[in-house]
Structure formats: C-alpha cells, structure tokens
C-alpha cells in the first residue's frame, strides 16, 4: 500500500475550456510549494489530482501546505491499492482504523470509474461495510448522518481508500486572475487585503514605504514576516521597499498640515503605480475600509483614487475591524501585526486631519513642490526583496 493525497479542485471544475489551464496553474503552484519536501508527482484524473511523494515524504507537512493553496476545495489522504476486492478489504480496516475507532456511526461510499471491475458500486459498499462492522463491533451504519464516511474509489490504475475530506482553502489558483501590487504596511488590514485578492487567483507583488530613520529596520522586518505568512497562501511575493523619507519631509515642510495624510497617500499611489506597471500588474490593492480613519472617508478615498490610472482594489471596504481581525487570526498574521512598530503613516500625523478634502484643494496643496524628481529618486532607490513561504 502507498499513501497519496487526493486533491479536489474547487471552482476549477466549473471553468469549461479553461479548466486545463487552471489545473496546470494549480499543479505548478503545488509543485513549487512542496519542492523542498522531495520530488512529488501530480496526476490529474477527472475532478481529482493525485499527489504522490517519494517513499520517505513528510505527508503531514505536505498536507498542511496544500491546505493553504488556493484552488483546492478539499483534500484527502488516501491509501492507493491494487484493484482487487480482497486487497481492498484487507487494507480498508487497518487504514481507516484511526478514524473509525473514534466514531460511532459510519457509511461506505463507493465510486467505480473502471466499469470492468467485477463488483458494482453498491456491491463494493456492501462488502466493505460488512467487513468494517466485523472488525469494529462498536460501529453501526448510518446512511443519513454518519460520523465518518469511508470512500472507496476504483480508478483506472488503482483503487483509493480514504476517510473524511479536509476542507481546502477554496478560491482560485494563484496567477489565474493576473497580477496586482499590494500596498502593505505593518498593520492588520493590508495583509488581509492581500490574502483576499490572492484567494481570487491574483498573484501578488508588494510595495512598502519606509522612512528611515523615523521607521526602523525592525518595522521592515515585520513586513517581511507578514508577507512570508501571506505567501503560504498566495505563493511567492516580490517585495519592493520604497525609501519615502525625502517625500515625507517635503510634504511636512510644504503642505498644509491637515492634508498631510491624503497627500502622502497620493504619493504612495503614484509610486506604487510606476512599480506596478513595470512589473506587469493590472491593479493596486490597499487595506482601506470606509470611515475607519480620517484618510478613509469617501472624500479622502476619492482624492487618493484621482491619481490612479489603474483599478484600486479595496477588498476590506465594507468590513468592520472585528471581521478583519477574525480573518487575520485565521491566516495567522494577527500576532505579527500587533507587534509594536512605526509606520511611515504615523510619522507626521496631523492633529486635525481634513476629513472631507476635495481633489482641487489637494491638488493646489500639492502644487508648491515639483514632485517629479523626488518620485523618480524614490523609484530608483527602491530595494527588491523576494519573499518565499519556505
């Protein structure tokens, strides 16, 4: 007997002609994520992908990693055995014992895609059910609401025996919806926003603005740690760290204090957009939600949007903070985000920010500086840091 992992595609199954492309992307993503665990093979068969590792593969670690990959609806560890009912019946009790010993009721479901197999599906269920009742006398069969479902699938090359399916991360394979640039701070919101877009198949790059000496190396390290965690779901992320000190000081020295933050946001957008275009991204992503702070009123967002030539996705726009926190706990970015840090946003925070700025007012507030040079320098001096999950 060999143990394998069976992957059930998510929405993939619905995509008609594109299905093959999506499946190839999913397999490439899985291969990359498991690369350092040994040589795994991936074999598509109907709506399943069979993942097989080398003899000594760490399947627990592989399972953990696969559970975070978008595009997978569910997965099961399965015993792959010879297509012979005697073999199936001898392996089934032993392989499913850990599940069945903790259950009170069960049922067997069988699928036979090889129509030459001598038993049909109901006969396979009957035989396996009887065998399991003999081996585990504490069990009873419940076909409506069983604690455990034992699956037997007779396929082309072998048969698979497996128990309850684990729920996958859902969504679409990374890269299947193109690429976008996430504006990432060290806060709670932006990593969640990145995760949400990655779930829909968007490949991520990340842009972070740092203002040394006002912000420290530790603050930047925190961003690396956050992205490393997000990349367990999204796949690798290239981080662009933009030196922002010069621009922030120019804003502080030349613009009215009550619009500091909105002007700064517009600078972030302009620079992020230049990087995004160079990197082949079609959109920007931020962690803003309406009304959360002064710079996130509808009017302030309109001022920020006015400098963007590409769509700006704000997946948290209608969410409450506690809903965002619930996701950040689930994806394990929360504990990193709440570590104390300085963000460039908190460096020169106005005491009384304008909550209803207009685009024309902000444009005139900005006009006292020629921004071309400082923006060009910031882009040129940007550092590029590849972030990998493992």
Query: What residue ranges bind Mg ion (CB under 5 A)?
Result: 185, 187
Site for ligand ATP in 132-191 (CB under 6 A): 183-185, 187-190
287 binds, among ligand ATP, Mg ion, none (CB under 5 to 8 A by kind): ligand ATP
Residues 6+ apart with CB under 8 A from 149: 106, 107, 108, 109, 163, 164
Task: Determine, following the binding rule CB under 6 A, whether residue 209 of this chain makes contact with ligand ATP.
Answer: yes
Q: Is 342 in the site for ligand ATP (CB under 6 A)?
A: no
Output the smallest distance, CB 229 to ligand ATP, in A: 14
Cite the beta strand spans of 113-178 per DSSP E.
140-141, 148-154, 159-162, 166-170
* Piece of 74-82, 201-209, 227-235, 364-372 that binds ligand ATP (CB under 6 A): 201-209
Binding mask 287-306 for ligand ATP (x = CB under 6 A): xx---xx-x-----------
Give the containing element (helix H, strand E) for 262: helix 260-278
Residue 174 or residue 261: which is nearer to ligand ATP going by CB? Answer: 261
Residue nearest to Mg ion (CB): 187
Of 204 and 345, nearer to ligand ATP (C-beta) is: 345
343 binds ligand ATP (CB under 6 A): yes
Task: Please give the C-alpha separations between residue 385 and each of 110, 207, 210, 223, 227, in angstroms, as whole numbers.
Answer: 49, 10, 14, 11, 11
DSSP per-residue letters across 203-251: EEEEEEEE-TTTS-HHHHHHHHHHHHHHHHHH--EEEEEEE-HHHHHHH
Which among ligand ATP, Mg ion, none contacts residue 23 (Cβ within 5 to 8 A by kind)?
none
Task: Work out how close the CB of 345 gets to Mg ion at its nearest, in angstroms, rounded to a whole number.
Answer: 5
Element housing 189 (H / E): helix 189-199
Per 3-state DSSP, the chain is made up of helix, strand and coil in percentages (nearest 5) of 45, 20, 35
Asked, as a colleague might, if the bond just before 213 is cis with ω within 30 of 0, I would say: yes
Our CB check for ligand ATP shows the closer of 187 and 201 to be 187
Catalog residues that contact ligand ATP under the rule CB under 6 A. 183-185, 187-190, 207-209, 268, 286-288, 292-293, 295, 343-345
């Amino acid at each position: 007997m060999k143990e394998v992992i069976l992957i059930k595609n998510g929405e993939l199954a619905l995509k008609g002609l594109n299905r093959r492309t999506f499946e190839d992307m999913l397999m490439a993503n899985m291969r990359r994520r498991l690369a350092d665990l040994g040589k795994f093979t991936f074999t598509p068969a109907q709506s399943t992908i069979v993942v097989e590792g080398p003899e000594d593969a760490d399947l627990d670690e592989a399972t953990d990693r696969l559970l975070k990959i978008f595009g997978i609806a569910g997965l099961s560890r399965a015993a792959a055995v010879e297509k012979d009912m005697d073999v199936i019946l001898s392996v089934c009790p032993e392989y499913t014992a850990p599940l069945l010993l903790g259950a009170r009721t069960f049922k067997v479901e069988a699928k036979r895609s090889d129509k030459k197999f001598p038993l049909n599906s109901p006969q396979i269920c009957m035989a396996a059910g009887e065998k399991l009742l003999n081996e585990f006398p504490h069990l009873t069969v419940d076909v409506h609401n069983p604690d455990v479902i034992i699956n037997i699938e007779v396929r082309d090359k072998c048969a698979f025996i497996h128990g309850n399916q684990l729920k996958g991360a859902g969504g679409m394979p990374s890269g299947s919806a193109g690429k976008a640039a996430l504006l990432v701070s060290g806060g709670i919101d932006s990593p969640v926003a990145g995760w949400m877009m990655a779930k829909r198949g968007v490949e991520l790059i990340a842009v972070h603005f740092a203002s040394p000496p006002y912000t420290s190396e530790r603050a930047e390290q925190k961003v690396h740690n956050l992205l490393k965690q997000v990349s367990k779901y999204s796949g690798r992320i290239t981080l662009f760290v933009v030196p922002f000190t010069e621009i922030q000081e120019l804003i502080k020295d030349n613009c009215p204090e009550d619009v500091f933050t909105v002007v700064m946001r517009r600078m972030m957008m302009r620079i992020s957009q230049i990087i995004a275009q160079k990197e082949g991204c079609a959109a920007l992503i931020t962690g803003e939600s309406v009304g959360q702070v002064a710079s996130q009123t509808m009017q302030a967002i309109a001022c920020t949007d006015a400098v963007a030539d590409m769509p700006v996705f704000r997946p948290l726009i209608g969410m409450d903070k506690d809903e965002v926190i619930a996701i950040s706990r689930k994806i394990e970015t929360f504990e990193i985000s709440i570590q104390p840090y300085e963000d460039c946003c908190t460096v020169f925070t106005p005491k009384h920010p304008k909550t209803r700025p207009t685009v024309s007012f902000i444009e005139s507030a900005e006009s006292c500086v020629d921004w071309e040079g400082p923006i060009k320098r910031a882009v040129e001096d940007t550092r590029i840091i590849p972030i990998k999950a493992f």
